Amino acid sequence: MKKNILLPVLSLYFISLCAVLSCGQSVNAYGSEIKMNYPLANYSGLGWLSETELAAFVTDQNGGVTGYYFENDDTLHSLELPPFVAELDCNGVNDFNTNINYKHPALLPDGRLGLNNGCVSLGDPPDKKRQYMVAYNFKTKETTLLVNEPLPHYLSNGFTWNPDMTLGLQQIYGVLDGTIYWMSPDKIAPVDFAISDGERSFLPSKDFPHFSEGNEQGIVFSPAWSPNGKTIAFFVTLDAIGRSGWSRSDGEYKIFFMDPIEQKPYPVMGSIYDPSELIWSPDSKWLVFVGYYGVLRTNGIWAYSVESGKIYPVISGDFSRIAWSPDGNKIAATICVPDSDSLCNQYEIWEYNVSSIYRK
């Protein structure tokens, strides 16, 4: 009798696949997921204001934050923001193509809400400085400047701060290009380190404050400072080097770690495609991200263990924003509900129990 030579090949393939995907580790395998009672809306951010209160921030058609919802509460809570903080830069700008609003909401380490505020005219050159980073206090309703200098580019968006709010990183990101820069309460400055995987490298500072030409640069975005202050993580693709057009964003992304003192980035895991959100667990032992991962490029939420170097699937699906609860046991996420045109401008919010991996 002839042996079926395909069997050992297939067995080896599935064993390898399980090694990559951590087969059997899906944390929602026992029904530990709940659809939360939030209205369908276009959400641009999530943040736990307490152990039990998850704020879901709503945006208008221009991307400006209009307020937030709580679970089981159909009241849109106003942020009571002033008309705009960047008053001098926006003075006299009143054409119909100009948006004056607050964007990119994200909770800060001190419990306030970080936002970018300013006016951006569609006819402005990229170097027009009309945005500022501000902080909103939920208790006092006060809005104050976080960084005294204007942001260097109209595509300045995602940001992160160290625990004591003395130093932060912000990205200039437009899908096909991405870089990061330092910011403090007093000033903004380019980073002075290279990003390398041992074979290829690039200098993020070459894309500051304007993206360089020639496609020699990689892409770095989504900086995330760990709650204990010891590690900065971010997404990087070096496959973008030398590429043009949409192919720049189609390559493999890796998660890089960097000590904020030594500032020598190094890769910790790869096989990620088209990623978005990257967040830390409250104890700084886990990272969760949204994206396509592995041999099959499954889209969903994934958890990476800093201590073991293993990755665990949380849930598959078309997710956007994620937030890890203060006790570490739950992850909330917005999932797309496509309309008739297949464009996602409304989201449901689901909660996933991740205590089985968080306590590992």
Residue 300: which region, alpha, beta or left (left: phi > 0; alpha: psi -120 to 50)? left
What's the pLDDT score for residue 11?
39
**Geometric angle at alpha carbon 91, from 89 and 95, rounded to 5°:** 105
What's the pLDDT score for residue 21?
42
Does the pLDDT at position 204 exceed 90? Answer: yes
Q: What percent of the chain has pLDDT over 70?
A: 81
What pLDDT digit, counting tens, does each position of 241-275 carry? Answer: 999 888 998 999 999 999 999 999 999 999 999 99
What pLDDT digit, counting tens, does each position of 322-346 carry? Answer: 999 999 999 999 998 876 556 778 8
Taking the C-alpha atoms of 73, 43, 313 and 267 in order, what is their torsion angle to the nearest 10 degrees?
-140
pLDDT-derived band at 89, boundaries 50, 70, 90:
low
Q: What is the mean pLDDT of residues 37-57?
A: 96
pLDDT-derived band at 1, boundaries 50, 70, 90:
very low
Does the pLDDT at position 13 exceed 70? Answer: no
Q: What is the mean pLDDT of residues 146-156?
A: 90
What's the pLDDT score for residue 29?
41
Does the pLDDT at position 16 exceed 60? Answer: no
Cβ atoms within 10 A of the Cβ of 285, count?
17
pLDDT-derived band at 62, boundaries 50, 70, 90:
confident
Give the C-alpha separation, 31 to 173, whole Å. 36
b/e per residue 158-173 (b: at least 16 CB within 10 A): bbbbbeebeebbbbbb
Global pTM reads: 0.88
Q: Beta strand pairing status for 195-196 and 201-202?
A: antiparallel
Would you say 314 and 302 are in contact if contact means Cβ atoms under 8 Å apart? yes
Q: What percent of the chain has pLDDT over 90?
A: 68
Mean pLDDT score of the chain, rounded to an integer?
86
* Residue of 129 and 57 predicted with greater confidence: 57
Does the pLDDT at position 196 exceed 60? Answer: yes
Give the C-alpha separation, 355 to 30, whole Å. 12
Contacts (Cβ under 8 Å, ≥6 apart) of 356: 27, 32
> 272: closest CA among 242, 292, 243, 299?
292
